[in-house]
Structure formats: C-alpha cells, structure tokens
C-alpha cells in the first residue's frame, strides 16, 4: 500500500496545481486580451455603463424596442430556459399571455404576424438579439409614442441589422440594447 500511496499523493498535488491554479490563471490571462478584458463588453452612454453587449435587457416601455422574453428575468447569474415542453399547459398559458400583451401594445398587428421570438424565451434567457422582422413589427408603436417618422425607424433598424456570420452561418439579427441606445439619441 505504501508503494502506491506516495505516488498517488504526488499525482493529486500535481493535478491540483495544474487544474485548479495554473489553468485558471492561464485562462484569466488570455481573457485580459479579449475585448472588455474578461469582464464582458459593456455599453456606455455619457460615461455611464447601461448594460452588457451580450446579455439581454428588459424593455417593457412602449417607447423602446422590446427584446426576447426571458425565463429567468434576464438574471445572468441564473441563466436558463423554462424546460417546459410545447404542450405543457403552464407554458402555453405563458406564451398566450405574452401574445395578448404584445397585441395590446401593438394595435393593428395580427397574432399570426408576431415573430415567435417575441413570445418565447430563449434557451439561456439572456438573448440580446431579435430578428429584423421582430424589430420591424414594433416600428409603428414606437413611431406613434415618440412622434417619429416610421421611415426613420426603419432606417435605424436597417443600420443595426447584422447579417449572418461569414454571410452563411446563422440568421440576421439586431442587438436590442444598441438599437435602443441609438433610438434615444434620435429624440435628443
């Protein structure tokens, strides 16, 4: 037994040093080279941090573009989906409530025209992006509330539309926080 005990302790100490000390320090050092120095990419307005680029924000006022609903109320510490299946009665009730709320705040929009991402939460609950269609369907409401021309808002949506990665991977998307920051600048 003594023959195996000392090498086992040495190996355990070596692996603790490698996996619990050196590897995390290496990753933290690499993160310092990334945008945001490993603390995430923050968005600032007038020198004040207003949010993170890759974490969704909750917008419920009619004067803003709304993002995708969150199953965790945009809590980055508890990232998760709802884990309820598409036939779960509680899930269906939640989706119907979101549809009803969206229709109340966007008169003239028909239920079948609402993009699914506006009434279903993402897997992480933190999705910062919506599709161009989800932004366009909200233009009329925002134009009425802010007293802006719909064409101006459509141009803003087009300006913020990011195409698929490398032109082929993924859908076109719009970062809601960046869009709303520029929307506020229009009214100033």
Q: If you average pLDDT over residues 119-142, what whole number do you get?
A: 90
Residue 118 contacts by C-beta under 8 Å, 6 or more apart in sequence?
66, 68, 69, 98, 102, 130, 134, 137
Q: Contact 154/126 with Cβ under 8 angstroms?
A: no
pLDDT at 79 over 90: no
DSSP secondary structure letter of residue 19? I
CA-CA distance, 148 to 62, in Å (whole number)? Answer: 13
CB atoms within 10 A of CB 21: 10
Give the pLDDT of residue 101: 94
> Using one digit for the tens of pLDDT, what is the confidence trace for 44-77?
788 887 787 888 888 889 999 999 998 888 877 7
pLDDT at 112 over 90: yes
pTM, two decimals, is 0.78
Q: What is the mean pLDDT of the chain?
A: 88
> Using one digit for the tens of pLDDT, what is the confidence trace for 145-188?
999 999 999 999 999 999 888 878 889 999 999 999 999 988 76
- Residue 173: beta bridge partners? 162
Give the pLDDT of residue 118: 93
Give the pLDDT of residue 113: 94
Give the pLDDT of residue 77: 77
Give domain limits for the chain. Answer: 1-39, 43-186
Written as six digits, the tokens of 121 are 């939460």
CA-CA distance, 112 to 95, in Å (whole number)? Answer: 13
Q: If you average pLDDT over residues 94-113, what whole number do you get?
A: 93
Question: Within 13 Å, how many C-alpha atoms sit on residue 113's CB side?
Answer: 12
Q: Contact 152/186 with Cβ under 8 angstroms?
A: yes
User: Distance of CA 185 to CAs 18, 46, 65, Å?
Assistant: 50, 11, 14
Written as six digits, the tokens of 178 are 């960046």
User: Distance of CA 145 to CAs 26, 140, 148, Å?
Assistant: 50, 9, 8
One-character DSSP codes across 69-96:
--TTTT-GGG-------TT-HHHHHHHH
């Amino acid at each position: 037994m003594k023959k195996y005990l000392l090498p086992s302790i040495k190996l355990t100490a070596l692996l603790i040093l490698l996996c619990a000390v050196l590897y995390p320090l290496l990753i933290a050092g690499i993160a310092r080279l990334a945008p945001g120095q490993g603390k995430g990419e923050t968005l600032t307005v007038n020198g004040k941090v207003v949010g993170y680029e890759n974490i969704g924000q909750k917008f419920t006022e009619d004067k803003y573009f709304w993002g995708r609903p969150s199953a965790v109320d945009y809590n980055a510490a508890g990232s998760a989906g709802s884990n309820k299946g598409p036939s779960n009665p509680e899930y269906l009730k939640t989706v119907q409530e979101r549809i009803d709320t969206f229709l109340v705040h966007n008169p003239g929009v028909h239920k079948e025209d609402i993009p699914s991402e506006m009434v279903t939460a993402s897997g992480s609950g933190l999705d910062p992006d919506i599709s161009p269609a989800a932004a366009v369907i909200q233009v009329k409401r925002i134009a009425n509330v802010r007293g802006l021309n719909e064409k101006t808002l459509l141009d803003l949506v087009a300006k913020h539309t990011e195409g698929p990665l490398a032109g082929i991977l993924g859908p076109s998307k719009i970062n809601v926080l960046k869009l709303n920051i520029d929307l506020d600048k229009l009214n100033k």
